[in-house]
Amino acid sequence: MSERRDAVETERAPAPVGPYSQGIVAGSLLFCAGQIPLDPDTGELVAGGVAEQAQRCLSNLEAVCEAAGTALAEAVRTTVFLTELGEMPAVNEVYAKFFSAPPPARVGVGVSALPGGAAVEIDAIVSLPPPV
More confident call, 130 vs 108 = 108
Does residue 121 belong to any structural domain of this protein? yes
Produce one character per residue of 52-83: b if its CB has 16 or more CB atoms within 10 Å, e if not: bbbbbbbbbbbbbbebbebebebbeebebbbb
Does residue 132 belong to any structural domain of this protein? no
pLDDT score recorded for residue 3: 66
Range of the domain at 73: 5-127
Model confidence at 17, pLDDT cuts 50, 70, 90, reads confident
Per the structure, the count of domains in the chain is 1
**Using CA atoms, how far apart are residues 1 and 87, in angstroms rounded to an integer?**
44
pTM confidence score: 0.95
For residue 50, give the 3-state DSSP assignment: helix
Does residue 111 belong to any structural domain of this protein? yes
pLDDT tens for 28-41 read: 999 999 999 999 99
pLDDT tens for 39-69 read: 999 999 999 999 999 999 999 999 999 999 9
